[in-house]
Amino acid sequence: MTYLILETIYSVISSGFPEEIKVLKRFCAKLIVVLVCSASVYAADYNLAVQPVMTEADIRTVYQPLADYLSQVTGQKFHILTHRNFLTYWVRMKKGKGFDFVLDAAHFTDYRVQKKHYQVLAKLPDTVSFSVITGRDNFVFDMEELISKRIATMPSPGLGAIRLNEYFPNPIRLPFYIQVDNSTEAGKMLVNGEVDAAIIPTPLVNNFEGVNTVLSTEPVPHMALSASPDVPKEVVDQVQKALLNAENSPEGRKMLETIRIERFDKASNEDYADYGKLLEGVFGY
């Protein structure tokens, strides 16, 4: 509204007025430029989605410090976006609404790069795998021993479920898949004796006491943070700089310590190339 009023005044005084009015004209012109420039950097709201490997409450607890840090450093406003399970996550991801920034597994990251034109900005260090675990007194040495047994798993297209299906290609020789919403639920069901095995991200295995690891899957690049093509480039650059420089500032180091990672590493779309192929055969791909 202020901009429109000033633009109208500028038009009215654009010709034929005394020198004093010309001064006002120049002032209005400069003020309009300032307002236009300010509008481009005005704080906006952005969602930061995180893949649902934990409960929604746990994800908000773990990653809220990251959202707070990005808000503080960039001047934008970041909000953690959670989903109940991988089914709802996959459906909403395909629609593409509200996923401004995403911290996600390798196969989903590459999918968005290829299908949605996202840009990878940074990643968690190293690689990550999934582990099949059994209870304290249930020693399993071969995956075939789990045929007709109960395995707690997050639903496809979560990476754990995709990896699990690779071990049981014969459709008549399968375990009973007990679908859960997140890894926390899978681990608790195993500890409580409700299932014979579970598959969860390897970094979470130590969260459960007295479990045995049957095997760990082939590792893939750790989770990456990618940006939607709808986010302005200057905001994307702000976020990438904030992530990569986090270990160099007190507030950044505090954030990293809170979310329990050493740093964010620089990453590109090429680092996740071809992992999207793991989704081939998944409904809606």
Task: Residue 229: give its domain's CATH number.
Answer: 3.40.190.10
**How far, in Å, CA of 8 to CA of 19, rounded?**
19
Which residue, of 218, 247, 263, is where some domain finishes?
218
Q: Domain check: are 68 and 96 in the same one?
A: yes
92 CB-near residues (< 8 Å, 6+ apart)? 83, 98, 99
**Full domain range(s) for residue 225:** 49-127+221-279
State percent of the chain over pLDDT 70. Answer: 85
Given this model, what pLDDT does residue 282 score?
86
User: Does some domain include residue 168?
Assistant: yes
Q: What is the pLDDT of residue 173?
A: 95
| Domain shared by 35 and 54, yes or no | no
Tell me: the pLDDT tens digits for 232-285?
A: 999 999 999 999 999 999 999 999 999 999 999 999 999 999 999 999 988 877
- 121 lies in the same domain as 240: yes
Map tokens 């629609």 to a residue. Answer: 95
Instruction: Specify the pLDDT at position 58.
Output: 94
Low-confidence ranges of the chain (pLDDT < 50): 1-10, 12-13, 17, 20, 23-24, 27-41
| Same domain? 228 vs 262 | yes
Please give the pLDDT value at position 11: 52
Question: How confident is the model at residue 18, as a pLDDT?
Answer: 54
The pLDDT, as a whole number, for residue 114 is: 95
Q: Same domain, yes or no, for 150 and 195?
A: yes
**pTM of this structure:** 0.81
Residues 117 and 226 in one domain: yes
| Residue 206, pLDDT score | 92
